[in-house]
Amino acid sequence: MITGTGITKTFKQRGSVLGAREVRALRGVDFAVEAGGAVSFIGESGCGKTTLGRIIAGLETYDSGEIVIDGVPMSGLGHRRRQPYFRRIQLIHQDPYSALNPTRTIHQTLEAPLALRAKQTGRPRSWVDARATELLSLVGIDPGYVLPRYPHQLSGGMRQRVVIARALTMDPEVLVADEAVSMIDVSLRLGILALLKDLRVRLGVGVLFITHDIATARYIGDDSELYVLYRGQVVERGPTETIITRPVHPYTQSLLSATPVLHGLELPGAERVVPTEALDPGGSDEGCLFAPRCPFATQLCVERRPTLSHDGTTLQEHACLHPRVRSVIPVDAVNRAEPGTEQRTGTEADTGARG
Amino acid sequence: MSPDPTAPTSHAHSAPGVRVRGLTVVYKTPMGELPAVSNVDLTLAPGTITGVVGESGSGKSTLALCLLNAVQPPGRIAAGSVEIDGLGDVVELGGEELRRARGRHVGYVFQAAQNSLNPLKTIGKQLLDLGRSHGVADLRALVRDAKDLLARMGMDGARVLDSYQHELSGGMRQRVGIMLALVLNARVVVLDEPTTALDMITQATILRIVREVHDERGLTTLVITHDVGAVAEVADDLAVMYGGRVVEHGPVKEVLGDPRHPYTQGLIRAIPRLSGDIGEARALPGRPPTLGTLPAAGCVFRERCDRRMDVCDTVEPVALTRDGRTVACHAAAEDADRRLTAARRKEFA
């Protein structure tokens, strides 16, 4: 199990004569990923989700806060003593086309980390090949076909499976999947998501899923937790299905509203929220971070910064001074309206169910 | 939201139509010349937005390039025509004529507009280059038009023209790409993956802008994408490509609500969605074909199809059009016949 408390990270931009510009990538983020659990981080680019993923994978330092892996706090350990812990957290990159060495066959790609693993655990060399075959079967590809091939001979979906198999060579506790399906063909995306869900069950490996597309977060398991990040702050946190169907933070609602509606199959939600455009990406640091773009912001929002907490009325935690559930996600059009007739299901009255 | 495609917009009389007929594009490979686009017919009705969706290797980008006659070697247009109203057959154009048509008649917003701008020149300088290369006499008017267009898309025109590309965000660069495609008053616009690599909120903004500018300027627009959602939001018509063929084409609501080709059905079932049953969604088995793995005869989709029949192995299905819906599938043709017979029987009963 991995927990983080109060993780902050500030990037300082150097090189400017007029003084350094600071970007506060993370402003005190708490999280917990359990063995076999699933946590999704969503938000726009620049919200800090990738930085958080890199910190959790041990690839980036953090300014303050504490990461605890299996009960051991990382801040007390030196670099060398941290390594075995962070090795148990493996990163799956976004781009399966550049994540694999093009001059190595898949066999060579898997052999190197497995040989290391064999040495660490005192297993014989013969274990390496057997394990490579086993891992490829586990991720759903034919080892006989894939092992002798180079990455360019494989499709995007196959490459991503190889990347996942490579991450599994280290017997990880947690897989950090940063936009792991955004570059995969649409017809194969669900396959990769189903694989991650399957690995949770079969290997008890935790999944930390980072994405800008909330819809994909539904498919890594119905017990998953969702964190919505905005400018380095978690603004809403709770069960994925709850946040998608009953979001209370206007930023979450904006993200959900922006998901395209499949007209003909779905009808748009009745209360879609469109945020005002960010004029200054730096923005003000006073009050609620989302207030400058929020259509519902009041004077209070400009003055006070809400913190993430339960208010007792919702299942999820949120950081909003004026929380309200809005129906922003598309409604299934099937069985609700005859194709061609535009029917608004703005109210709860289910017109189609009677027909 | 999207206007009724049967009711022409106020500009429809002036928007050009585009007719692609029997288009075949081949690429030279060590295995001989292989078709990336094979005998494609596609009509873009004047004043409509047509979305073309397909996976990697479906030939959608190659098809888009044909509207500019810009297929690069080792590829070449082997057969067919691309008729654009007011311009003629683009495939027959060449040299200076073709250069002038690009940008003037057909605007093209390239895939990853993020990387299609010159990093060493300000946007304004690139705009002037564009004007000069097309012999625009009044460059001041061109700059004015550009500023108007940028303002229309919610940006400060003067500031953007003075900027280098690295000073703009992804969504802003995409808007600059759209501005450069429209500033010479092109009436046919091709957008290649306009929202790839953009955030959800930025994507929604860009799609809204595409729709609005399209309506205001009376354009005929082609949007190429791998993301069904992106076109569902803006397009009037939807064409689905697979293995270099257009396998289904029709009004977007009908294609999404009642898909007839097994590939379209599988593709829609495979979209991660916010609504709908998670359990019903599943990935398509197999993987998209590449140039080298396309079967020489029969249906290109049969390997992944759940309705495969004997005839699919030998005979390539032809595209049949019924009630405004075009489908190229043996099984779907049987379904259509059955529906017709059932309807007749009802009539006589």
Residue A187 to residue B288, Cβ atoms within 8 A = yes
DSSP string, B231-267: HHHH-SEEEEEETTEEEEEEEHHHHHHS--SHHHHHH
Residue A20: burial class (beta carbons within 10 Å; 0-12, 13-18, 19+)? exposed
Cα first-last separation, chain A: 50
User: Checking DSSP bridges between strand B49-53 and strand B237-242, what pairing results, if any?
Assistant: parallel
Confidence of residue A353 (pLDDT cuts 50, 70, 90): very low
Is B80 in a helix, a strand, or coil? strand
Average pLDDT over residues A174-194: 88
Whether the pLDDT of residue A334 is over 80: the answer is no
Nearest to A186 by CA among B328, B171, B287, B38: B287
Position A332 scores a pLDDT of 84
Residue B228 to residue A155, Cβ atoms within 8 A = no
**CB–CB of B163/B123 below 8 Å?**
yes
Average pLDDT over residues B36-53: 94
Give contacts of A190 with chain B, Cβ < 8 Å: 270, 272, 281-283
**CB–CB of B271/B281 below 8 Å?**
yes
**CB–CB of A38/A59 below 8 Å?**
no
Question: Could you tell me how many residues make up chain B?
Answer: 349
Crossing angle of helices B170-182 and B200-217, rounded to 10°: 20
Is B56 in a helix, a strand, or coil? coil
CB-nearest to A157 from B1, B275, B287 is B287
3-state secondary structure B133-196: HCCCCCHHHHHHHHHHHHHHCCCCHHHHHCCCHHHCCHHHHHHHHHHHHHCCCCCEEEEECCCC
Out of A21-35, A228-242, A274-288, least confident range: A274-288
Strands of A317-318's sheet in order across:
A89-92, A174-178, A206-211, A38-42, A225-230, A233-239, A317-318
Position B52 scores a pLDDT of 96
Q: In angstroms, how far apart are the furthest CA atoms of chain A?
A: 70
**What domains sit in chain A, N to C, each tagged with a CATH number?**
2-230 (3.40.50.300), 247-339+346-355 (no CATH)
The Cα of A179 is separated from the nearest Cα of chain B by a number of Å equal to: 11
Position B256 scores a pLDDT of 94
B287 touches A: beta carbon within 8 Å: yes
Average pLDDT over residues A22-36: 90
126-165 of B, contacting A, C-beta below 8 A: 154
The count of other CB atoms within 10 Å of the CB of residue A298 is 12
Average pLDDT over residues A122-148: 92
A263 touches B: beta carbon within 8 Å: yes
B224-268 pLDDT, tens digit each: 998 898 889 899 999 999 999 999 999 999 999 999 999 999 999
A219 touches B: beta carbon within 8 Å: yes
User: Checking DSSP bridges between strand A174-178 and strand A89-92, what pairing results, if any?
Assistant: parallel
Question: What tokens does A321 get?
Answer: 């001074």
Q: Please name the amino acid found at residue B125.
A: K
CB-nearest to A333 from B154, B199, B257 is B257
Residue A213 to residue B272, Cβ atoms within 8 A = yes
Chain A residue at shortest CA distance from B273: A215
Position A17 scores a pLDDT of 56
Confidence of residue B340 (pLDDT cuts 50, 70, 90): confident
Position A226 scores a pLDDT of 96
Chain A residue at shortest CA distance from B201: A258
Give contacts of A294 with chain B, Cβ < 8 Å: none
Residue B274 to residue A265, Cβ atoms within 8 A = no
Position B2 scores a pLDDT of 45
Position A15 scores a pLDDT of 57
Position A314 scores a pLDDT of 86
B256-306 pLDDT, tens digit each: 999 999 999 999 999 999 988 888 888 888 888 888 888 888 999 999 999
Whole-number Å distance between alpha carbons of A229 and A293: 15
Best of B169, B274, B278 to disrupt the A interface (most A CBs within 10 Å) is B274
State the ipTM, two decimals: 0.84
Residue A190 to residue B281, Cβ atoms within 8 A = yes
18-77 of A, contacting B, C-beta below 8 A: 44-45
Give contacts of A49 with chain B, Cβ < 8 Å: none
Whether the pLDDT of residue B100 is over 90: the answer is no
Whole-number Å distance between alpha carbons of A297 and B303: 54
Strands (E), chain B: 18-29, 32-44, 49-53, 75-84, 88-89, 106-109, 188-192, 220-225, 237-242, 245-251, 320-322, 325-327
CB-facing half-sphere around the CA of B171: CA atoms within 13 A? 22
Nearby residues of B162 by Cβ (< 8 Å), 6 or more positions away: B122, B123, B124
CB-nearest to B287 from A188, A254, A281 is A188
Burial B251-275 (b: 16+ CB within 10 A, else e): bbbbbbbebbbbbbbbbbbbbbbbb
